[in-house]
Amino acid sequence: MSRSASVLLVAHGTRHLAGARTARELADAVAARLGQPVHVAYADVRGPTVAETLARLPGPVTLVPAFLASGYHVRTDIPAQVAAAGRTADVTMTPALGADPALLAALADRLAEAGVREGDAVLLAGAGSSDPGARAEAHTMARRLGRLLRGPVPVAWAATAQPAVADEVARLRSAGAARVAVASWLLAPGLFADRLYAAGADVVARPLGTHPAVTAALAARALRPGSAAVA
């Protein structure tokens, strides 16, 4: 990232006020690491949109998707919004967070905060996606978490994909688990996080939010975009 580049953090968007607040807090934390302002836009649900924000941002722009999965919004929707804004020549879009191994520390810390115990059955719960690549990223993180915890960590979903979180919690109980813990593979509070809390687990970790591992990973992408201008 050139020091003259504007930085735009793009989040999914939610009607949940705490979710929107988390996006702003993420941007502020990344800004503190970069030493420059970080602007916020949303891919869906709420504004400002990507196009609205780009209309007032000078170029060049480094666009950082605050997404844990490289699914539809990252691969298709956000690039289309950049193109619709007429900014393909001066916007560089970084990779999403994806299965960044640096985020393993955030997962582990959130589980510890929630009160996970040795011997708990742990599952990783994501938002869900129809994109097989996005689902594969979550499975990669689940394998890493399993190695850290020295036990299998299955994956379940809040929407779109199967198995559903509640079904996986029930399966683990029927297999003999005395306690079930959910590791939240989500960035912010919202509808999907609410579904995790309602799934019947004994322990549900909160979303990763502004954990230092998350803000460091987002800042690293802003500094080293690693991709060409959006085409």
Q: What angle do CA 127, 101, 167 make, to 5 degrees?
A: 30
Residue range 23-48, pLDDT digits in tens: 999 999 999 999 999 999 998 878 79
C-alpha–C-alpha distance, residues 131 and 13, integer Å: 19
The DSSP letter of residue 207 is: P
Q: Which fold has domain 6-98+211-223?
A: Rossmann fold (3.40.50)
Residue range 117-158, pLDDT digits in tens: 999 999 999 998 888 988 999 999 999 999 999 999 999 999
C-alpha–C-alpha distance, residues 230 and 84, integer Å: 11
Helix (H) / strand (E) element for 42: namely strand 38-42
| Strands 91-93 and 121-126, sheet pairing | unpaired
Q: What is the DSSP string of 129-194?
A: -S-HHHHHHHHHHHHHHHHHHTS---EEESSSSSSBHHHHHHHHHHTT-S-EEEEEE-SS-SHHHH
Domain 6-98+211-223 matches domain 101-204 at the CATH topology level = yes
C-alpha–C-alpha distance, residues 189 and 225, integer Å: 27
Q: Give the CA distances from residue 109 to residues 39, 78, 119, 208, 209, in Å, rounded to whole numbers and listed in that order.
A: 28, 31, 17, 9, 12
C-alpha–C-alpha distance, residues 66 and 191, integer Å: 17
CATH code of 101-204, in short, is 3.40.50.1400
144-148 — which CB contacts under 8 Å span 24+ positions? Answer: 144/99, 144/101, 144/104, 145/104, 145/107, 145/108, 145/183, 148/104, 148/108
Helix (H) / strand (E) element for 203: namely strand 203-204
Mark the ranges of the chain whose per-residue pLDDT is less than 50.
227-231
Taking phi over 0 as left and psi of -120 to 50 as alpha, with beta for the rest, 217 belongs to: alpha
Q: Give the CA distances from residue 200 to residues 6, 74, 164, 203, in Å, rounded to whole numbers and listed in that order.
A: 43, 31, 12, 9
Q: Structural domain boundaries of the chain?
A: 6-98+211-223, 101-204
Q: What is the pLDDT of residue 69?
A: 87
